[in-house]
Amino acid sequence: MDHYRLHLEVLLIGFFVVLLITFSGSTGVRTIISFVFTLICILKVFVPMLLKGYHPIYLALIIGVVISTVTLILVGGFTKKAYSAIFGSIASSLITCVLAIFFGNLFNIHGSILQWSESLIYSGYQNLNLTLIYQAGIYLFIMFRSYT
């Protein structure tokens, strides 16, 4: 039996939003917009496209670059610093993606050990390459971990 915690999570998110706007002002509002944009990209674009059979690594790379570009423009504006950060983000995304694939293959990491992977395959998604999805997840995690 699990506990219902959704109302507490909504309360914490609301508290975070209020504090972010209080201390950051308009930059905080733009940061919240970038958080919402990231969630929409992952939940409404990335996951459905994975289930349709698109290549996970290329898809993660495109989604990651789009999210980081939009976030940097929203927070930093159209400045030379933002453009420099976008270029650095794209370069580091490519390097991170290549390293995730390389070390995933080197250490024989495969996605079939993921929780719920068996039920996902049995529910009609046999064509999914769980290894590539796992490596794409590693790439996205490392990329977005660097922002925090």
pLDDT in tens, 114-125: 666 777 777 777
Max avg pLDDT among 1-5, 101-105, 116-120: 101-105
Domain boundaries, given as residue ranges, for the chain: 25-145
Is residue 135 within 8 A of residue 56, CB to CB? The reply is yes
Is residue 133 within 8 A of residue 57, CB to CB? The reply is no
Q: Tell whether the model's pLDDT for residue 67 goes beyond 80.
A: yes
The Cα–Cα gap between 93 and 15 comes to 32
pLDDT bin (cut points 50, 70, 90) of residue 146 is low
**pTM (2 d.p.):** 0.78
pLDDT tens digits for 38-50?
899 999 999 899 8
